[in-house]
């Protein structure tokens, strides 16, 4: 059969480009002129409905105008067969790029875009220093690792530092040389600061780093979230929380996840040990709430200036009220920043039945003749939680060492003399941030659980590859202070260099002058 007339084709094509429906005459095509797939559609009295025809109609192109159009349709269809494989390949590549973009977007959303720490000292409130020693004099003593020193005028300054702990942690940082390292330790009962270490890559000592609050708290904030939930009585450590989608993802959908097919459950105790984000997101929304979380952050000292012999930046945190961002904040992805000294104080409060001590570094200042000009005395700074809640938090954080995120660094009691004699409670945190990109690896803990004597906060700021994390620094701090042998860190997937053969067994080296297995501490620190 003949095709459309020359004057008829442009008019219909123009109508299609204007969005009008095609006004085709009803035609009958002989079977010999139709592709096989089109024969079933070419019924008498109906317009041809070929797959290629339908595809081109979307773009205002109308094949099938006579025999020439049908030939074009057949050619396109044959080309489609040969190109189908390439289309599938390109579609798969596009899907992979889309997935990569989604995860990159999630990662960028979880980053904290801050500048690395400067070398300046935080601002000091007027009249906040009572001992009279200048920041420069204290900086010199801290950098040298000495607990005593004399000023140019002959005044003697005595610090609360434990020289061995101060030296061991700095040497640990220097051995593995991370971009930044910060460490703070104090006695939970008195608030005496036993170590204040800051490290910059290349071996530079910067004692101000533990006083700066520009580090994202990450999962350490889960301790405050759990404390608020326990204090309000809305949950118990053994109560199970239902979640979906794995323990590390937080989505708007799983905030209110219920039991059913595909759902899992985890107790609050296990969630703090394994740092389960999805579980703590639900706890923050369903058991705490924005106002209560903000209240308990304030009780733990966030937003408050810490009274100390040196200026300490104020730890701060924003608590949103919408459910999704509240869940993220309660799990450790919110705008919450804390200093290592403050985090050690939080651990000290949990180890002291909820009473947070006022930290002090200067023990005594003497005149050249020996007369005391200043002498510090321990005091309480604030109440945080009840003794029952503090005890529950301690027991929960023991699981971090036994089965949780610090188990690999601390090892089992059979291979770790420290754990054979005492229980250690702790919490880890990790998140990316700064520019260029860095990885924050936190550990905060207290030991021994029965009668805490040392509270620590260790932060290692790593680049894309690393050798140590905060948990290892925390373990070495406890080993140094209580007189236990040191050990090598576990191997990490992103560790630089080749993995050492042999694993953890036989990796310990006995420190000179230290006992192989000292007796368990009974109120007095073994030395």
Give 16's pLDDT tier (boundaries 50, 70, 90). very low
pLDDT in tens, 242-283: 998 889 989 888 898 888 777 899 999 999 999 999 999 999
Q: Confirm if 210 and 195 have CB atoms less than 8 A apart.
A: no
- Residue 8 pLDDT exceeds 90: no
CA–chain centroid gap for 526, Å, is 35
- Both structure tokens of 520: 């368990």
C-alpha to C-alpha distance for 266 and 238, rounded to whole angstroms? 9
Residues 6 or more apart in contact with residue 9 via CB below 8 angstroms: 65
Other CB atoms within 10 A of residue 245 CB: 15
Across residues 386-414, what is the average pLDDT?
96
User: What's the chain's length in residues?
Assistant: 527
C-alpha to C-alpha distance for 200 and 115, rounded to whole angstroms? 15
Across residues 51-76, what is the average pLDDT?
49
In sequence order, the β-bridge partners of residue 197 are 183
Q: What's residue 79's pLDDT?
A: 59
Q: What's residue 164's pLDDT?
A: 97
Q: What's residue 83's pLDDT?
A: 64
- Both structure tokens of 422: 């005492």
pLDDT in tens, 117-140: 776 766 655 444 567 788 889 999
C-alpha to C-alpha distance for 333 and 11, rounded to whole angstroms? 62
- Residue 308 pLDDT exceeds 70: yes
Distance from first CA to last CA of the chain, Å, rounded? 106
Across residues 92-96, what is the average pLDDT?
81
- Both structure tokens of 395: 């027991």
- Residue 75 pLDDT exceeds 80: no
Kindly report the pTM of this predicted structure.
Answer: 0.74
Helix (H) or strand (E) holding 372: strand 372-375
Nearest to 469 by CA among 446, 499, 439: 439
Across residues 29-53, what is the average pLDDT?
45
Average pLDDT in the chain: 81
Q: What's residue 246's pLDDT?
A: 86
Which has more confidence, 207 or 56?
A: 207
Q: Which of left, alpha, beta for 406 (phi over 0: left; psi -120 to 50: alpha)? A: alpha
C-alpha to C-alpha distance for 526 and 519, rounded to whole angstroms? 8
Q: What's residue 114's pLDDT?
A: 53
Give burial (CB, 10 Å; 0-12/13-18/19+) of 221: buried
Residues 6 or more apart in contact with residue 99 via CB below 8 angstroms: none
Q: What's residue 463's pLDDT?
A: 87
Give 71's pLDDT tier (boundaries 50, 70, 90). low
Least confident of 95-104, 238-247, 319-328: 95-104
pLDDT in tens, 377-387: 999 999 999 99
In sequence order, the β-bridge partners of residue 517 are none
- Residue 206 pLDDT exceeds 90: yes
Q: What are phi and psi of 48, to 5 degrees?
A: -60, 130
Eight-class DSSP state of 431:
E
Give 360's pLDDT tier (boundaries 50, 70, 90). very high
Q: What's residue 104's pLDDT?
A: 58
**Domains of the chain, first to last:** 15-109 (no CATH), 135-482 (3.40.710.10)
Q: What's residue 491's pLDDT?
A: 75
- Residue 317 pLDDT exceeds 90: yes
Q: What's residue 501's pLDDT?
A: 38
Across residues 202-230, what is the average pLDDT?
96
Q: What's residue 400's pLDDT?
A: 98
Residues 6 or more apart in contact with residue 460 via CB below 8 angstroms: 178, 180, 181, 440, 441, 466, 468, 469, 470, 473
- Residue 473 pLDDT exceeds 90: yes
Q: Which of left, alpha, beta for 70 (phi over 0: left; psi -120 to 50: alpha)? A: alpha
Residues 6 or more apart in contact with residue 346 via CB below 8 angstroms: 220, 223, 224, 300, 301, 356, 384, 444, 457
Across residues 307-315, what is the average pLDDT?
93
The secondary structure of 299-346, three-state, reads: HCCCCCCCCCCCCCCCCEECCCCCHHHHHHHHHCCCCEEECHHHHHHH
Q: What's residue 380's pLDDT?
A: 97
Q: What's residue 433's pLDDT?
A: 76
Give 82's pLDDT tier (boundaries 50, 70, 90). low
- Both structure tokens of 240: 């199970």
Q: What's residue 90's pLDDT?
A: 79
Least confident of 65-69, 71-75, 305-309: 65-69
Residues 6 or more apart in contact with residue 63 via CB below 8 angstroms: 50, 52, 53, 56, 69, 70, 72, 73, 76
Q: What's residue 513's pLDDT?
A: 40
């Amino acid at each position: 059969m003949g095709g459309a007339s020359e004057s008829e084709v442009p008019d219909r094509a123009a109508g299609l480009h204007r969005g009008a429906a095609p006004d085709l005459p009803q035609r009958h095509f002989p079977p010999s002129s139709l592709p096989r797939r089109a024969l079933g559609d070419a019924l008498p009295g109906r317009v041809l409905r070929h797959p290629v025809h339908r595809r081109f109609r979307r773009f205002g192109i109308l094949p099938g105008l006579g025999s020439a159009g049908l030939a074009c349709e057949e050619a396109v269809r044959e080309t489609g067969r040969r190109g189908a494989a390439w289309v599938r390949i390109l579609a798969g590549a596009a899907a992979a790029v889309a997935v990569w973009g989604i995860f990159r977007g999630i990662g960028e959303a979880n980053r904290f875009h801050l500048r690395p720490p400067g070398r300046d000292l935080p601002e000091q409130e007027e009249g906040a220093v009572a001992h009279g020693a200048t920041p420069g004099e204290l900086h010199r003593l801290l950098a040298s690792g000495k607990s005593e020193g004399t000023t140019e005028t002959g005044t003697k300054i005595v610090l609360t530092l434990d020289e061995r702990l101060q030296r061991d942690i700095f040497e640990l940082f220097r051995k593995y040389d991370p971009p930044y390292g910060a460490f703070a330790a104090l006695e939970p009962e008195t608030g005496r600061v036993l170590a204040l270490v800051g490290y910059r890559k290349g071996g530079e000592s910067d004692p101000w780093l533990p006083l700066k609050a520009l580090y994202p708290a990450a999962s350490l904030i889960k301790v405050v979230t759990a404390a608020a939930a326990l204090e309000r009585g809305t949950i118990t450590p053994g109560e199970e929380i239902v979640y979906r989608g794995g323990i590390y993802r937080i989505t708007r959908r799983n905030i209110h996840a219920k039991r059913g097919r595909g759902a899992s459950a985890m107790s609050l105790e296990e969630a703090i040990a394994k740092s389960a984000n999805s579980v703590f997101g639900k706890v923050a929304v369903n058991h705490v709430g924005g106002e209560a979380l903000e209240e308990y952050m304030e009780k733990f000292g966030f937003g408050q200036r810490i009274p100390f012999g040196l200026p300490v930046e104020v730890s701060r945190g924003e608590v949103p009220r919408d459910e999704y961002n509240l869940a993220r904040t309660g799990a450790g992805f919110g705008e919450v920043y804390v200093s290592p000294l403050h985090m050690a104080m939080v651990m000290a409060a949990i180890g002291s039945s909820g009473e947070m001590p006022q930290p002090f570094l200067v023990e005594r200042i003497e005149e050249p003749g020996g007369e005391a000009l200043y002498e510090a005395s321990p005091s309480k700074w604030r109440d945080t939680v009840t003794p029952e809640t503090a005890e529950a938090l301690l027991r929960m954080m023991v699981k971090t060492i036994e089965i949780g995120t610090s188990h690999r660094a601390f090892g089992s009691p059979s291979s770790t003399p420290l754990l054979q004699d005492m229980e250690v409670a702790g919490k880890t945190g990790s998140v990316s941030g700064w520019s260029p990109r860095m990885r924050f690896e936190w550990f905060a803990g207290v030991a021994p659980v029965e009668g805490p004597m040392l509270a620590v906060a260790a932060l290692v700021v790593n680049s894309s590859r690393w050798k140590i994390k905060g948990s290892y620094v925390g373990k070495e701090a406890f080993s140094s202070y209580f007189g236990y042998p040191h050990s090598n860190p576990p191997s990490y997937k992103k560790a630089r260099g080749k993995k050492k053969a042999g694993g953890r067994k036989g990796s310990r080296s006995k420190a000179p002058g230290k006992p192989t297995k000292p007796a368990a501490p009974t109120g007095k620190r073994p030395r």
